[in-house]
A and B are shown apart, each in its own frame.
Chain A
């Protein structure tokens, strides 16, 4: 059924269709509407039997999900930004224990400075935590990925993060197709836990593992992620067969035929990028877009195959490894090692800065002329940066950076959520 609803509501409906048994969350913008939507569904009885627990923090949320999942329940939580960082220890714990929890991350910047807007720093900070990370391009895909995520998580006994752009997707009203309960039930079988509470075979979860087997346990997690590289496209194909649309998979290629230049990105910015590329294509430029839908596991081979005919690759990313440059680009670089490709990283949209088509056209024009440096920051106000550096050179007690810059741009600290 097609409905015009908010992205968060679409996700809440998707999670509900997956028949979770325990949901626990702590509110944080821009995730709040998802858990509020689920709270409503649970209370109305539409989701019975399901427990909804309003916990006292994200750390508690993930820990409750761990306990519930270990006890054999299909468990779900959602968070963003500071919340994800606060739960980090438990995030690693969940993957180390092989618990198939699904979590939505409503991607948001990390402070300081406090910022509630979208970028990918939060989930990227958990890149190596062992969770699978799937990125949604649209609200429809966000909905669909949750159905796929539970399936994938439970097959592999690995937790899955579904990442969707905060506000841009979570708060946008779009038409989405909501599958029926029967369709979802046919796609996602009931959860068959690998670890159950069985009085005949009592186990204590959380063994201490020393050097004799620790590496093997970690390697198994890696192995399962590599197995996921095969299962993700299969599940996407099964999804297409059942629901009639493309969602998920490893990569989202767009106008890649004969593309000499390829722009790589994750999430909702792919929409703007496709428009931009359409314009360039219309002007005869052989350029395409490659969306990464599965960031963990990272599709090294698929990416290499998709990129090998190209001459240039531009990675547009909403994350940033301070002191190095791009985060996604580092992985892409590994995928194309040895290929004769010119590559550059464009860090864009940090803290919610708009990524406009005009700016993209500008930066891509430079890329096409092979004038784009290895690392560019889209629409960076260099003057602002220079002024602060100058200030720091001139006086030792130059004060807090954020406040200085806000004064320079003439804004007072804006209301935070």
Chain B
């Protein structure tokens, strides 16, 4: 573990950030890809929360969605398929002071990385996890994923997939120590942003399943929900989303849901007709792994002081 002296100094001044401070490169996602909307919401979050780019990390696996870190002007780690969560855990343990986000796809998280997913929920480290769920393997060009709805025609299921889709929200809600679960859709930016923000503010593992359009391989998949706003059910609550008047004019199907009620959250998650959007569950009382093992003890105030001293020494003018 090392502490950067310059960084200690930087902590002393307040900074203002613009969106450009978080934008890197031109995303190579297809036009209309839901990942673009997620990127916009996350960049806005970073700006509004004035997250210092050098104190922020985006970790991903492999997939279209896992290209995310390349488009953030923060630290990024584009790893191997399925391993985003344990890599993020490693980063968090070594540097508990960093804000760590994870971007993972439905293949990355729910198939090849599924074992890590379960354990990450149980560890409950302070990470914000975005599951970009386009219900398909996008990057490898259209193969059914565990979240593909039954009947999905893909290159590996030419006559339609024959298994009931795995519901990532229900699964997450079923794991010991779950502390935050939300669901968003990429096509309602206002709500997407509010959810991303709530997830960021939760201390513990925040799991956000974002229903993400993939116009390249499943162009019509979400049409029933896009064309009928009543099939998107907004979960509102004093401790959850507060939908604006403008939003409520379009999205009239709203439900009061108290995010502390896990049983109700599980029932809602199982809705196969509507997409419930909002904070399904939040429990700030679940202890974080970091609180149990205290990796920050490695970064004691004494250490910070000593590196600050050494940095200051550089400017000493000896008589």
Contact across chains for A56 and B157 when beta carbons are under 8 A apart: no
Contact across chains for A43 and B158 when beta carbons are under 8 A apart: yes
Expressed in whole angstroms, the minimum distance between the Cβ of B204 and any Cβ of chain A is 27
* A35 neighbours in B (Cβ, 8 Å): 156
Contact with B along A19-46 (1 / 0, CB 8 A): 0000000111100100110011001100
Report the nearest B residue to A32, measured CB to CB: B140
Contact across chains for A56 and B62 when beta carbons are under 8 A apart: no
Contact across chains for A114 and B156 when beta carbons are under 8 A apart: no
Show 10 residue pairs from A and B whose CB-CB distance is below 8 angstroms, ordered by the A residue. Answer: A27-B137, A39-B157, A54-B161, A57-B111, A86-B112, A112-B80, A114-B78, A416-B139, A417-B139, A417-B140
* A412 neighbours in B (Cβ, 8 Å): 25
Partner of A39, one of B78, B146, B158: B158
Report the nearest B residue to A413, measured CB to CB: B70
- The distance in angstroms between the C-alpha atoms of A417 and B107, with both chains bound, is 13
Given contacts A39-B158, A413-B70, A29 and B81 within 8 Å (CB-CB): no
* A114 neighbours in B (Cβ, 8 Å): 62, 78
B264 interface residue, CB < 8 Å from A? no
- The distance in angstroms between the C-alpha atoms of A269 and B78, with both chains bound, is 32
Top 8 A-B pairs, shortest CB-CB distance:
A56-B111, A57-B112, A36-B155, A43-B159, A27-B143, A27-B140, A39-B156, A40-B158
- The distance in angstroms between the C-alpha atoms of A63 and B65, with both chains bound, is 28
A111 interface residue, CB < 8 Å from B? yes
Expressed in whole angstroms, the minimum distance between the Cβ of B4 and any Cβ of chain A is 9
B201 interface residue, CB < 8 Å from A? no
B39 interface residue, CB < 8 Å from A? no
* B67 neighbours in A (Cβ, 8 Å): 416
Contact across chains for A54 and B112 when beta carbons are under 8 A apart: no
B84 interface residue, CB < 8 Å from A? no
Given contacts A26-B112, A32-B140, A54 and B156 within 8 Å (CB-CB): yes
Contact across chains for B140 and A54 when beta carbons are under 8 A apart: no
Q: What count of chain A residues pass the 8 Å CB interface test?
A: 25
B82 interface residue, CB < 8 Å from A? yes
- The distance in angstroms between the C-alpha atoms of A54 and B148, with both chains bound, is 12
Report the nearest A residue to B79, measured CB to CB: A112
Contacting B at CB under 8 A, from A357-414, are 412-413
* B139 neighbours in A (Cβ, 8 Å): 416-417
Contacting A at CB under 8 A, from B115-130, are none
Name the residue among A26, A35, A58, A413 with the largest chain B CB count within 10 angstroms. Answer: A26
Expressed in whole angstroms, the minimum distance between the Cβ of A351 and any Cβ of chain B is 16
Interface class of chain B by DSSP? loop
Partner of B81, one of A32, A36, A82, A112: A82
* B55 neighbours in A (Cβ, 8 Å): none
B residues whose Cβ falls under 8 Å from a Cβ of A: 25, 28, 62, 67, 70, 78, 80-82, 111-112, 114, 137, 139-141, 143-144, 146, 155-159, 161
Expressed in whole angstroms, the minimum distance between the Cβ of B162 and any Cβ of chain A is 10
Contact across chains for B140 and A29 when beta carbons are under 8 A apart: yes
Given contacts A111-B80, A114-B62, A54 and B157 within 8 Å (CB-CB): yes
Contact across chains for A36 and B143 when beta carbons are under 8 A apart: yes
- The distance in angstroms between the C-alpha atoms of A56 and B67, with both chains bound, is 21
Expressed in whole angstroms, the minimum distance between the Cβ of A411 and any Cβ of chain B is 12
- The distance in angstroms between the C-alpha atoms of A104 and B289, with both chains bound, is 42
Expressed in whole angstroms, the minimum distance between the Cβ of A54 and any Cβ of chain B is 5
Contact across chains for B159 and A28 when beta carbons are under 8 A apart: no
Contact across chains for B156 and A56 when beta carbons are under 8 A apart: no
Report the nearest B residue to A26, measured CB to CB: B112
Contact across chains for B80 and A82 when beta carbons are under 8 A apart: yes
* B111 neighbours in A (Cβ, 8 Å): 26, 56-57
* A416 neighbours in B (Cβ, 8 Å): 62, 67, 139
Contact across chains for A54 and B143 when beta carbons are under 8 A apart: yes
Partner of A54, one of B28, B62, B81, B144: B144
Report the nearest B residue to A25, measured CB to CB: B156
Expressed in whole angstroms, the minimum distance between the Cβ of A368 and any Cβ of chain B is 43
Expressed in whole angstroms, the minimum distance between the Cβ of A285 and any Cβ of chain B is 45
Expressed in whole angstroms, the minimum distance between the Cβ of B67 and any Cβ of chain A is 8
Name the residue among B82, B114, B144 with the largest chain A CB count within 10 angstroms. Answer: B82
* A40 neighbours in B (Cβ, 8 Å): 158
- The distance in angstroms between the C-alpha atoms of A415 and B28, with both chains bound, is 8
Given contacts A413-B70, A417-B139, A27 and B156 within 8 Å (CB-CB): yes
Contact across chains for B82 and A57 when beta carbons are under 8 A apart: yes
Contact across chains for A32 and B62 when beta carbons are under 8 A apart: no
- The distance in angstroms between the C-alpha atoms of A277 and B80, with both chains bound, is 40
- The distance in angstroms between the C-alpha atoms of A56 and B107, with both chains bound, is 8
- Given A43-B158, A56-B111, 9 further pairs, Cβ under 8 A: A28-B140, A32-B155, A36-B155, A39-B157, A44-B159, A56-B146, A57-B82, A57-B111, A86-B81
- The distance in angstroms between the C-alpha atoms of A54 and B137, with both chains bound, is 12
Expressed in whole angstroms, the minimum distance between the Cβ of A64 and any Cβ of chain B is 13
Expressed in whole angstroms, the minimum distance between the Cβ of A223 and any Cβ of chain B is 36
* B159 neighbours in A (Cβ, 8 Å): 43-44
- The distance in angstroms between the C-alpha atoms of A114 and B112, with both chains bound, is 17
* B144 neighbours in A (Cβ, 8 Å): 54
